[in-house]
Amino acid sequence: MADENDETLDSAEDDWAAAMAEQATVDASSTASAQPAQIFPAFGDTDGKASMMNELDMILDIPVQIAVELGRTKITIKNLLQLAHGSVVELDAMAGEPMSVLVNGTLIAQGEVVVVNDKFGIRLTDIITPSERMRKAGR
């Protein structure tokens, strides 16, 4: 019985050794010729302005929400429930102060209100730079 177990172990070890040798051969041949899959282009691989425009074209049709904020305030629910037609709510913005222009909730510019063909609009007077946005976000 011991001889039978020894033969089974030797056979299993031989099979294991053969499998390991086969794997080593496959690994050695694939390492020499293996190249990483080029699914996505590297960030540094640009073909000039044409490539940059192709990358921008992918995002140009994404809709964004633009809002112009006149001002803000905080009131209690009690005072909110007492509001009626003709009530005045005091805002934190001063008269003549530039309005905030928000894109998807992020301040990107400031401007002044204009009327064009009986519709309100905003004339941008100051564009917030990305570095200024980052500085304000860090507060």
Give residue-wise pLDDT tens across range 37-49: 666 666 655 555 6
**In the prediction, which pLDDT does 45 show?**
54
Highest mean pLDDT: which of 29-33, 43-47, 88-92? 88-92
Distance CA 111, CA 100 (A): 7
Distance CA 9, CA 20 (A): 16
In CATH, what number does 65-137 get?
Answer: 2.30.330.10
Give residue-wise pLDDT tens across range 96-131: 888 999 999 888 999 998 988 999 899 999 998 888
Distance CA 12, CA 16 (A): 6
Strand, coil or helix: 110? strand
DSSP code of 74?
A: -
- Average pLDDT of 67-85? 92
The average confidence (pLDDT) of the chain is 79
Strand, coil or helix: 69? strand
